[in-house]
Structure 1
Amino acid sequence: MPETKGFELRRNDYSLSEDQEAVRGLFAEFFAAECPTTRVRAAEPLGYDERLWQGLAKMGAVSMGLPESAGGDGATMVELALVAEEYGRVIAPVPLIEAVTAARTLARCGGGSAAQWIAGNVDGLPLTVLALHPVVSGARQLVPAGAIARAVVALDGDDLVLVTSAEPPPFVPNQGTAPLAWWDPSAGDREVLATGARARELFATALGEWKVLTAAALVGLADEVKRLGAEFTKTRTTMGVPVGSLQGVSHPLADVEIEVSGARNLTRKAAWFAEHEPRARPELLPMSYANAVRCATQAARVGLHVQGGFGFTLESDVTLYFRRVKGWSALAGDPSNELLAIGDVLATSDAAASWSPSA
């Protein structure tokens, strides 16, 4: 394919440019300084810190991912994934991924009141988020960040709609302490953003971006919980030797390190293709998400085990991360369904023609 020849090297190169390193470093510094675990705990049970969110919005966390025509900086999915990874590293109580994906979708739609709701996400409030499942008439659905949102973008039949509410619906308590709420996207004040094939394409793109950015956040979470486990083993001894010197401890941690590295590369690759060649490797979207869920779950489980009895207490930061990975992994439904999605994509003639085991 001549039009993709210039991207051949980038397809297999996971290194970051100087600008990308600068973006990653900027947000890593912000989260490290502004979001210790004490602040994460203080935001419970709702799982939302409005002051932290306002500070992140002022840094351009949402606007950076918008096209220049919508007042953004034109950052790609790769840069957004880098920010999402740092967000996941500190499990920040802010609706970063929800706001970014909804704003990018509204920017693609244009017209109507889209600009108004984009501005809300860019400035921090009022918030618009994405309903992750197509609307079933008469059925409500749990919406990520729905308890702090005033509007939801949803696919209702052949229409992509914007459903607004004067106030966010009530918070639904959950172990992951995410700001979930029930929304009925078939009711309330509605505006049709797109119809037919265009509506379905916009929704599929938005959902794919949500999954890639959530995968990146889970990679950051896994990396940090691995670090917490490793640091713990440096300060504990058993039978006169450091706990970390035991193969039953060191080998599982090493396995997690390998898994995190692979998950990071796969997620960045999925982000790159989603931005530059979305039709070439569509299977990378469910692959990166399913793999990141598995990686983060393994990392949290190992982190708990290496800390022994302390790891299972609510006071342990590892338990805090364990609860987040369980909650985040369930937001879009059963993660094992992604395996079916991978098979469905690869079974289509277009995907089969563009994919091979060596690609």
Structure 2
Amino acid sequence: MNFLLSPEQIEFQETVVRFLDDRCPSTRLHELFDVGGYDSSLWLSLVELGVAGIALPEAYGGSAMEMIDLALVAQALGSRAAPVPFLGHVLTGLAIAWAGSPAQQAHYLPLLASGERLATCAFAETAGWQPEEWTLTDNDGQLSGCKLHVPFAGQANLILVGLADGGLGLVKRSGTGVTVEDENGIDRTRPMGKVTFSLSPVERLRNDIGVAERLRDACLVLLSADAFGGASRCVEAAVDYAKIREQFGQPIGQFQAVKHQLANMAVEIEPARGLYWYAAHAFDHIPHETTRCAALAKAHLTDRFLQVARESVEIHGGIGYTWECDAQIYLKRAMFDFAWMGNPSAQRARIELN
């Protein structure tokens, strides 16, 4: 049995990486990071490559591909710490494709696939991240309450909101009573906001806890793929720096302690590639393993990403702690992946309960 990627999958992933290297090199990434900004032209150019509609039905402008294809893009974006709203946008599209009415699908999906509308998702509450923990209630088509840690809340046109009993709803950011407060999150490649609703109109999707849980699992797979990409990049950057940074008249990569640290970083990450690959494969082909595999991938890879990002800072020495070094950007991205949608301890506890 062939467990490798197809040539087409490899080429598409490499195309995304080459595009990011060209359009958002380190200098541009720092410019955006410094201001906590969002480059709409970068996102729309990625949309033109097809990243927004990868898993959407062909009838609505998508490519009807599988979770592994979405995850491969997430890995590429993570490897370059791309400051784009991929995660919330594609999750909203998936939710509408799975639980929207024919009218909702016909209206929203072409707009999301083409990038004419930017979407995000709002899940977190003080009670927690999981569908069974959502408390926001739809009262006769209106919402009142708030959601926390919403990525790109200030830029999105459409917000997918997690509702009580695993429900899902769509709220237009320009709608009545919708306000966004910048949370000044640590990862400036993915700014977050607190969204408050006050009698805001909401369009309900099909009320099915199974859809909400499946969406949660999709999110975990994409976060684990992003973490693998970011961690791999940290290892590459640390190795490259160890080859050129000299101390006592020789590159620091010649020192045994540094060699061991770099080797440990590589061993922590590379074998974990199959963890997110399998979770993505299970999502479409082994449904009874999806929840466990997605949670396991998210727990392990985001945990390892955070550790490897810290070690990359150490390898870079004094400059690794400065704002000008790329290492701090990846460390902060690792913090986002670690915490968003539940930290590794919460994921492992959920697996044990099930």
TM-score (norm 2): 0.87
Residue aligned with 1:53, SS: helix
Q: CA deviation at 1:136?
A: 2.3
What secondary structure is seen at the aligned counterpart in 2 of 1:136?
Answer: coil
2:109 corresponds to which letter in structure 1? Answer: I
Amino acid at match of 2:343: D
Equivalent in the alignment of 2:72: 82
Q: 2:29 corresponds to which letter in structure 1?
A: V
Structure with greater strand percent: 2
Kindly report the root-mean-square deviation, in angstroms, between the aligned alpha carbons of the 2 structures: 2.0
Paired residues of 1:263 and 1:295 also in contact (CA < 8 A): no
Which one of the candidate residues 222, 239, 243 is aligned to 1:234? 243
The letter for the 1-side match of 2:180 is P
Mapping of residues 1-359 of structure 1, within 5 Å: 9=1, 13=3, 15-44=4-33, 45-111=35-101, 112-132=103-123, 133=129, 134=131, 135-137=134-136, 138-158=145-165, 159-166=167-174, 169-177=180-188, 178-184=190-196, 187-195=199-207, 199-345=208-354
| Equivalent residue letter for 2:274 | N
Count of aligned residue pairs for this structure pair: 331
Q: Structure 1 residues 204 and 342, CA, compared in 2 at 3 Å: closer, same or farther?
A: same
Q: 1:48 and 1:331 mapped to 2: Cα distance?
A: 20
Residues 281, 230 of structure 1: alpha-carbon distance in 2 compared, 3 angstrom cutoff: same
Aligned mates of 1:180, 1:165 — CA distance in 2 = 14
Aligned equivalents of 1:179, 1:115: Cα separation in 2? 30
Q: In structure 2, the residue corresponding to 1:83 is in which secondary structure?
A: helix
Shift of 1:126: 2.2
2: CA distance between counterparts of 1:227 and 1:51? 28
- For each residue in 1:303-351, what CA deviation from the matched residue of structure 2 results, as whole angstroms up to 9, or x when unmatched? 1111111111111111121122113322224332111112123xxxxxx
Q: 1:115 to 1:46 in 2, by over 3 A?
A: farther
Q: Could you list the per-position Cα deviations for residues 70-117 of structure 1 after superposition, in whole angstroms to 9, with x for gaps in the alignment?
A: 332111111111111110011111011211111111111232434333
Instruction: Measure, in 1, the Cα distance between the counterparts of 2:344 and 2:199.
Output: 28
Q: Where does residue 141 of structure 2 map in the other structure?
A: none
1:187, distance to aligned residue in structure 2 (A): 4.5
- Closer, same or farther: CA 185–283 of 1 in aligned 2, 3 Å: farther
Q: Single out whichever of 120-129 and 218-227 deviates more from structure 2.
A: 120-129
**Aligned partner of residue 169 in structure 1, secondary structure:** strand
Deviates more, 1:224-233 or 1:235-244: 235-244
Supply the AA of the counterpart residue of 2:71: A
Determine the structure 2 residue equivalent to 1:354: none
Provide the C-alpha distance between the structure 1 equivalents of 2:197 and 2:47, rounded to a whole number of angstroms. 26
Hey, which bits of structure 1, 4+ residues long, moved more than 4 A?
Answer: none
- Aligned residues: percent identity? 27
Gaps of 5+ in 1: 1-8, 346-359
Deviation at 1:139, TM superposition (A): 4.3
**Deviating more after overlay: 149-158 vs 293-302:** 149-158
